[in-house]
C-alpha cells in the first residue's frame, strides 16, 4: 500500500510536466491553424471580411471587368443578339442574367432542400452556360 | 451594329465613386455579415449559409414578405390609374397649370416621418380630426390602433395621398409632350376619346409610366418611415412590412447575421422585379 503511494507520488510531477508540455499550458491561447477560408481576414477592420467572401467579390468584379474589356476592345457591339426568350442581350446583359439567376438557384435550393449546395452549384454553372449560349 | 462612344464613362465616374461608398461598400459588408455570427465588439464567427436557410424557412419572414407584396400591389393598382386620370383631367394651358402643378407637388415635399406623424394625429380616434369624425359623427367603428383592417386602409390611403402626385407629374409630362397634330388627326378621323387615350396618349406616356411604376414599386417595396411612424407595424404584426421586420431583427434584436441574410434576399427580389419589369416594358423598343 505504502509502496504504491510513494510510487504515485514520484510520478506526479512527471505527469504534471508532461501535461503542461502537451497542452494544458496552452489553454486559452489561440492555436495557430494557418490559413482558413472562413476566418476573419482583417480582424481590426470594420467590414468583417473573410477570405471566402473576398474571393466571391473578386470573382464577380473580375467577371464584370473581363466582360467590360471584351465589350470595349474586342466586340464593340457586345455580341448583341436576339436570344430564345425574345430579349436582345449583350455580353453584359448575359452576365447579369447569369449572376441574378444563380443567386435565385442557390436561394431556392436553400429554402426548399437545404445545405450542402453542391448540386445547385452545378445547376448554376449549367444555367450560366445556357445563358451565354442561347439567351 | 451600334457604335458606342465609351468616353461617356469618364463623366459618370464621380457618381460611380459616390455609389461605391454609399451602396457598394455597405452591400459588401452585408454579404460578409450574412455568413457570420457576431455578439458585438467587431468579433465574427463563421456561420456559413445557415442564416439564409433559417430566414427562407421562417414563417415570420414569409408573412412579412406576403404583406409587402400585398401592400405594393394595392398601392400600384390604385396610384397608377388614379395618377393617369388626374393627369388627363389637368389643364394643358393657362393660368391653372402652375397652380395644379404646385398643388400636386406639395405632398411630395413633406418629409416621410412628418407624413407618418401627420396621418397618425389625423386618424387617431378621439384625438384626430378623421378619427373623431368617423367614430363620433358618422358612427363608423374606425380605430387604426386596434383594428388591422383600419390600419391597412390608413397606411394605403396615406401612401396614395403622398405618392400619387409622382405618377401624376410624370404622366402629365408625357401628355404635354404630345404635339397637337396627333389630336387634330384623331379628330378628323372621328376617334372616340377612348381611342385617343388608347392609341395616342397611352403609347406616348409609356416611357414615363415605366419610370413611374418602377419608382413606385421600388419605393413602396422598401417603405419604412411612414408606416413605422403611423402604426409602428401594429396592431400586432398586421402592418409589419418587410423593412420594419428587418429593422426589428437587425437593431431590435441585434441579430446582424439573419438580418443581413434577409436584406440580401430582399435585395434579390427588388433587383429581379425591377429588371423583369424594365426588360418587359422596353423589349419592343430595342428589338
Contacting residues for B173 by C-beta, under 8 A, at least 6 apart: B208
Question: Is B90 part of any domain?
Answer: yes
A89 has which bridge partners? A81
Chain B CB contacts of A80 below 8 Å: 1-2
For residue B286, name the pLDDT band (cuts at 50, 70, 90).
very low
Average pLDDT over residues A41-55: 87
Q: How many CB atoms are closer than 10 A to CB B241?
A: 26
A88 has which bridge partners? A82
CB nearest to B56's CB, from A40, A76, A111: A111
Contacting residues for B67 by C-beta, under 8 A, at least 6 apart: B238, B239, B240, B241, B242
Q: Which residue of B has its CA nearest to A79?
A: B1
Q: Residue B2 pLDDT > 60, yes or no?
A: no
Q: Residue B267 pLDDT > 80, yes or no?
A: yes
Chain B CB contacts of A76 below 8 Å: 1-4
Q: Residue B29 pLDDT > 50, yes or no?
A: yes
Question: Is B170 part of any domain?
Answer: yes
Is the pLDDT higher at B117 or at A29?
B117
Average pLDDT over residues B115-140: 87
User: pLDDT per residue over A8-37, tens digit each?
Assistant: 666 666 666 665 556 555 666 666 667 888
Check residue A28 and give its pLDDT. Answer: 61
Burial of B68 (0-12, 13-18, 19+ CB in 10 A): buried
Is the pLDDT higher at A7 or at B53?
B53
Burial of B148 (0-12, 13-18, 19+ CB in 10 A): middle
Rg (alpha carbons) of chain A, rounded to whole number? 28
For residue A44, name the pLDDT band (cuts at 50, 70, 90).
confident
Check residue A8 and give its pLDDT. Answer: 67
Pull the grid cell for residue B265: 434576399
Contacting residues for B153 by C-beta, under 8 A, at least 6 apart: B144
Percent pLDDT > 70 in chain B is: 97
Question: Is B14 part of any domain?
Answer: no
Q: Residue A5 pLDDT > 70, yes or no?
A: no
Say how far apart CA B287 and CA B284 lie, in whole Å.
5
User: pLDDT per residue over B147-170, tens digit each?
Assistant: 889 899 999 999 999 999 999 999
> Rounded to whole angstroms, what are the CA distances from B204 to A103, B83, B182?
36, 15, 11
Check residue B207 and give its pLDDT. Answer: 84
Which helix (H) or strand (E) is B268 found in, with range? helix B256-286
Residue corresponding to grid cell 400591389: B73
Check residue A104 and give its pLDDT. Answer: 94
Expressed in angstroms, the distance from the first to the final Cα of chain A is 87
| CATH number of the domain that residue B141 is part of | 1.10.3720.10
Average pLDDT over residues B111-136: 88
**Domain residue spans of chain A:** 51-134
Q: Residue B142 pLDDT > 80, yes or no?
A: yes
Check residue A19 and give its pLDDT. Answer: 59
Residue B103's domain comprises 56-272+281-286
Say how far apart CA A65 and CA A59 lie, in whole Å.
10
Check residue B279 and give its pLDDT. Answer: 85
Say how far apart CA A92 and CA A69 lie, in whole Å.
11
Chain A CB contacts of B283 below 8 Å: 86-88
Are the C-beta atoms of B39 and B30 separated by less than 8 Å? no
| Number of compact structural domains in chain B | 1
Residue A127, classed as helix, strand or coil, is helix
Say how far apart CA A126 and CA A25 lie, in whole Å.
52
User: pLDDT per residue over B67-93, tens digit each?
Assistant: 999 999 999 999 999 999 999 988 888
ipTM over 0.85: no
Q: Which residue of B has its CA nearest to A72?
A: B6
Check residue B47 and give its pLDDT. Answer: 86
Check residue B287 and give its pLDDT. Answer: 40
Average pLDDT over residues B162-188: 89
Q: Residue B235 pLDDT > 90, yes or no?
A: no
Burial of B60 (0-12, 13-18, 19+ CB in 10 A): middle
- Average pLDDT score, chain B: 88
Residues of B with CB under 8 A from a CB of A: 1-4, 6, 25, 28-29, 31-33, 35-36, 38, 42-44, 46, 48-50, 52-53, 56-57, 265, 268, 271-272, 275, 279, 283, 286-287
Amino acid at each position: 500500500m505504502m509502496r504504491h503511494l510513494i510510487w504515485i507520488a514520484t510520478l506526479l510531477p512527471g505527469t504534471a510536466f508532461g501535461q503542461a508540455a502537451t497542452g494544458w499550458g496552452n489553454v486559452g491561447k489561440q492555436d495557430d491553424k494557418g490559413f482558413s477560408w472562413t476566418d476573419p481576414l482583417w480582424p481590426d477592420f470594420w467590414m468583417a471580411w473573410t477570405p471566402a467572401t473576398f474571393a466571391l467579390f473578386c470573382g464577380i468584379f473580375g467577371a464584370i471587368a473581363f466582360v467590360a474589356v471584351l465589350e470595349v476592345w474586342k466586340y464593340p457591339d457586345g455580341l448583341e443578339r436576339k436570344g430564345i426568350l425574345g430579349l436582345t442581350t449583350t455580353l453584359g446583359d448575359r452576365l447579369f442574367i447569369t449572376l441574378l439567376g444563380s443567386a435565385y438557384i442557390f436561394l431556392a435550393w436553400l429554402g426548399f432542400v437545404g445545405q450542402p449546395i453542391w448540386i445547385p452549384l452545378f445547376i448554376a454553372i449549367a444555367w450560366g452556360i445556357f445563358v451565354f449560349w442561347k439567351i | 451594329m451600334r457604335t458606342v462612344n465609351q468616353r461617356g464613362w469618364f463623366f459618370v465616374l464621380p457618381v460611380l465613386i459616390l455609389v461605391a461608398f454609399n451602396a457598394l461598400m455597405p452591400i459588401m459588408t452585408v454579404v460578409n455579415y450574412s455568413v457570420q455570427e457576431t455578439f458585438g465588439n467587431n468579433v465574427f464567427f463563421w456561420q456559413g449559409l445557415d442564416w439564409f436557410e433559417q430566414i427562407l424557412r421562417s414563417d415570420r419572414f414569409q408573412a412579412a414578405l406576403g404583406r409587402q407584396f400585398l401592400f405594393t400591389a394595392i398601392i400600384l393598382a390604385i396610384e397608377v390609374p388614379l395618377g393617369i386620370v388626374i393627369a388627363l383631367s389637368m389643364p394643358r394651358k393657362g393660368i391653372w397649370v402652375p397652380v395644379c402643378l404646385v398643388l400636386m407637388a406639395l405632398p411630395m415635399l413633406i418629409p416621410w416621418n412628418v407624413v407618418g406623424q401627420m396621418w397618425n394625429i389625423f386618424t387617431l380616434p378621439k384625438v384626430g380630426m378623421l378619427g373623431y369624425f368617423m367614430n363620433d359623427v358618422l358612427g363608423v367603428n374606425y380605430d387604426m390602433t386596434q383594428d388591422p383592417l383600419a390600419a391597412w386602409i390608413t397606411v394605403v390611403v396615406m401612401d396614395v395621398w403622398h405618392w400619387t402626385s409622382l405618377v401624376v407629374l410624370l404622366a402629365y409630362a408625357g401628355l404635354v409632350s404630345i404635339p397637337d397634330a396627333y389630336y387634330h388627326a384623331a379628330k378628323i378621323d372621328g376617334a372616340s376619346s377612348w381611342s385617343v387615350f388608347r392609341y395616342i396618349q397611352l403609347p406616348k406616356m409609356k416611357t414615363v409610366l415605366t419610370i413611374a411604376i418602377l419608382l413606385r414599386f421600388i419605393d413602396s417595396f422598401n417603405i419604412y418611415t411612414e408606416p413605422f411612424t403611423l402604426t409602428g407595424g401594429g396592431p400586432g404584426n398586421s402592418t409589419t412590412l418587410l423593412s420594419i421586420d428587418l429593422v426589428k431583427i437587425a437593431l431590435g434584436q441585434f441579430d446582424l447575421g439573419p438580418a443581413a441574410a434577409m436584406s440580401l434576399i430582399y435585395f434579390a427580389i427588388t433587383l429581379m422585379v425591377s429588371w423583369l419589369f424594365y426588360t418587359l416594358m422596353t423589349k419592343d423598343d430595342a428589338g
